[in-house]
Amino acid sequence: MSQFTINLLFVGASFALYFGIAIWARAGSTKEFYVAGGGVHPVMNGMATAADWMSAASFISMAGLIAAGGYANSTFLMGWTGGYVLLAMLLAPYLRKFGKFTVPDFIGDRFYSKSARLVAVACLIIASVTYVIGQMTGAGVAFSRFLEVDKDTGLIIAAVVVFFYAVLGGMKGITYTQVAQYCVLIVAYTIPAVFISLQLTDTFIPAIGLFSEHTQSGMPLLQKLDEVVRELGFRDYTADVDNKVNMVLFTLSLMIGTAGLPHVIIRFFTVPKVADARWSAGWALVFIALLYLTAPAVASMARLNLMTTIYPEGPTAESIQYDERPDWIQTWEQTGLIKYEDKNGDGRIQFYNDTPAFADEATARGWAGNELTVNRDILVLANPEIANLPGWVIGLIAAGGLAAALSTAAGLLLAISSAVSHDLIKGSINPDITEKGELLAARISMFFAIIVATYLGMNPPGFAAQVVALAFGIAAASIFPALMMGIFSKRVNSKGAVFGMLAGLGCTLVYIFTYLGWFFIPGTNTLANTPDNWLFGVSPLSFGAIGAVINFAVAFIVSSMTEDVPEEIQELVESVRYPKGAGGAVDH
């Protein structure tokens, strides 16, 4: 049986499962569409939250980032997991106590202002659209390889699949689909990692294998990896970070961005009680940890496998002939995600860090430049092929990668559609709209959101995890401060909240657009996205933490200069901060 047929069987079976669940759990009311009826069990909600959370960035791109940057990119692990602690302790139970459908619902009522609600809707849509770009990009990468189509065609297929089960089922269908997707993606991620760990270290637990002895060389695996990459002009894999301030800001931006992401927060409105919201966050962290403890090992082993494939006799010996390249390189070349250019005409693949610091060594070895370009997003997907694992493992990871991308994309699209239909149309434009009309508006808005996400996925401002990091920065600078002040401060009024969100969002977007292109349009950036151009050495990916500080400062300053918060709102804040129970979600 060909690999393509195996891939089709695995991917087709998983899609059939998702479609079946969507039809079985079709949403018949706005409450089912927005919050799955409000009766999801905490363990199931934790699993669905984990799938919602562990996106294409986690499954596909995070390991690629760590593989490329080593210790320096461990910030993704620290920031994303740390954010869940903040979410469980500071936000989830209090927002569930409030008992509404959406984040703008809370902000609009807490700050007693339609303007605050509309600004929250804008912040939510901008953050969610930015985030969904990464998911669609990741889905396109996975589809292009495993269905043997080009990347854009793969992205369109992904959009059609998401449209079917997200539009039909709403949160009810998405919740049960995400439980199935979590099971698929965690099995798909873990099994190849176990195989590869056994191959390289004789240890079946990847997280332990990472710090074990490399079987072939007898050296510690990380020491062997450091040696290989150093000989090819790359920075040591375990090297420390030079810019500690940027590292701290980036980690903080990811943490508070995690706690402010609307598609994650909305999941805590689906459980019956306040205590269940806290338990859901705890279970989600357990389920997430299963993958996140494995990711550093997968990244390290993928990097070592890639290097030893190109230089089978070691980095100081001859590289492989291009004509003798393994099948997996030929396969990925067809997708355009691996590219080869024979710059010195010797018919061999030179793969090294083509920088001025390594130029003399490269010249001495007869090299005329790096000849192999490998898209970072493919490392996890290609890992089983690099390690010559069985065809069914490759089919399994195909299904897992697609499950990761589609689960988060569905959650984000639901957050966007509920913001448009519930908060914008029903909350501001047409408060008298019928439930049937609101449900239709939600589905129509999701349709248009999918079209926009597909277009932006074809023209992303970076690879999947980078784009996702931008979304976290936007959420950190706009939504998280408003939620924190709404829950824990009686002093912040409507004007303070509005100006704070606008200031945080505006400063962050301007900083991001300056380096990554205005509205992410390629070629429109004012400055090159290089460390020497960054203001005070702060990366665009790290600016969300500074945007959050600006948000807090502006909100408190404006509130101190304007009228006091009404007494009934202060009482509302007091009641939310003591979550001793919660009623059903209220549709306003």
Burial degree of 275 (CB within 10 A; 0-12, 13-18, 19+): middle
Contacts of 144 (CB under 8 A, 6+ apart): 150, 151, 153, 154, 335, 336, 337
12/412 Cα distance (integer angstroms): 23
User: What is residue 462's predicted lDDT score, i.e. its pLDDT?
Assistant: 56
User: What is residue 110's predicted lDDT score, i.e. its pLDDT?
Assistant: 92
Q: What is the pLDDT of residues 130-144, one digit of tens each?
A: 778 777 777 777 777
Averaged pLDDT for residues 285-294:
89
Averaged pLDDT for residues 573-585:
64
- Predicted confidence band of residue 472 (pLDDT cuts 50, 70, 90): confident
Alpha-carbon dihedral sign for residues 23, 27, 33, 37: negative
Torsion of CA 255, 257, 262, 263, to 10 degrees: -60
Say which DSSP state 529 is in.
Answer: S
User: What is residue 177's predicted lDDT score, i.e. its pLDDT?
Assistant: 79
In this predicted model, which residue has the larger pLDDT, 145 or 349? 349
In this predicted model, which residue has the larger pLDDT, 277 or 563? 563
Say which DSSP state 541 is in.
Answer: G
pTM equals: 0.80
Name the amino acid, one letter, at 9: L
Cβ atoms within 10 Å of 363's Cβ, excluding its own: 10
User: What is residue 6's predicted lDDT score, i.e. its pLDDT?
Assistant: 87
User: What is residue 188's predicted lDDT score, i.e. its pLDDT?
Assistant: 83
Distances in Å between the alpha carbon of 153 and those of 62, 119, 150, 157, 565? 24, 35, 5, 6, 53
User: What is residue 165's predicted lDDT score, i.e. its pLDDT?
Assistant: 66
pLDDT over 70 percentage in the chain: 92
3-state helix, strand, coil in the chain (%, to 5): 75, 0, 25
Q: Is the model's pLDDT at 206 over the cut of 70?
A: yes
- The average confidence (pLDDT) of the chain is 85
pLDDT over 90 percentage in the chain: 32
Beta bridge partners of 373: 339
Tokens 């277009």 sit on residue: 455
Averaged pLDDT for residues 409-413:
79
Averaged pLDDT for residues 227-250:
91
Q: Is the model's pLDDT at 563 over the cut of 90?
A: yes
Contacts of 13 (CB under 8 A, 6+ apart): 399
- Predicted confidence band of residue 274 (pLDDT cuts 50, 70, 90): confident
- Predicted confidence band of residue 386 (pLDDT cuts 50, 70, 90): confident
Distances in Å between the alpha carbon of 73 and those of 124, 201, 250, 389? 27, 23, 10, 27
Contacts of 143 (CB under 8 A, 6+ apart): 149, 151, 153, 154, 155, 157, 158, 402
Averaged pLDDT for residues 117-122:
90
Q: What is the pLDDT of residues 143-178, one digit of tens each?
A: 776 777 777 888 888 888 877 767 766 677 777 878
Q: What is the pLDDT of residues 298-345, one digit of tens each?
A: 999 989 999 999 999 999 899 999 999 998 888 888 878 899 999 999
User: What is residue 378's predicted lDDT score, i.e. its pLDDT?
Assistant: 80
15/587 Cα distance (integer angstroms): 33
**Rounded to the nearest 10 degrees, what angle do helices 274-292 and 151-201 cross at?**
70
Alpha helix ranges (H) inside 27-113: 30-35, 42-53, 56, 62-69, 75-86, 92-98, 103-110
Q: Is the model's pLDDT at 403 over the cut of 80?
A: no
439/32 Cα distance (integer angstroms): 10
Lowest mean per-residue pLDDT among 448-462, 481-495, 558-572? 448-462
C-alpha 220: how far from its chain's center? Answer: 31
User: What is residue 587's predicted lDDT score, i.e. its pLDDT?
Assistant: 53
Lowest mean per-residue pLDDT among 178-187, 238-247, 447-456, 457-466? 457-466
Give phi and psi for 348, each to the nearest 5.
-105, 160
